[in-house]
Amino acid sequence: MAFEYPVALEVRGRPAVVIGTDAVVHGKADALLEAGAFVTVVAGEPASALDRLEERSGTTVRRRPYRPGDLAGAFVCVASSKDAGERAAIHREAEARGVLVNVMDDPEHCHFAAPA
């Protein structure tokens, strides 16, 4: 997918969801928090990063794998998964709920590109 229309999103005060270990490790929750989003993190690890995120205002941490329904009420989602079926499920839920989604390293399941 060619992302031909460059855009910057205003996420301040909006709900965002970050799913998966790699998304946490690559600082996606931190970047959204810095931009003013209210962030829900859905990941089982890394424990130290999840502990740190739990201490930040505006963050909810769910220490578990993705479940359908996790995108309810979200404006934007950044996700990672090694499982192709899970990546597709996240994308399907985002499409159904009108949530902008970036599934890391899977352009077919992205509405937008985000800097690494």
Q: Are 43 and 104 contacting, i.e. CB atoms less than 8 angstroms apart?
A: no
Total-model pTM: 0.96
| Cα(69)–Cα(3) distance, integer angstroms | 27
Strands (E), the chain: 15-19, 38-42, 59-62, 76-79, 100-103
Predicted local confidence at residue 62, as pLDDT: 98
Query: Which tokens belong to 20?
Result: 């998966």
Tokens of 54: 């739990």
Per-residue pLDDT of the chain (116 residues; tens, 9 = 90+): 568 888 899 999 999 999 999 999 999 999 999 999 999 999 999 999 999 999 999 999 999 999 999 999 999 999 999 999 999 999 999 999 999 999 999 999 999 988 77
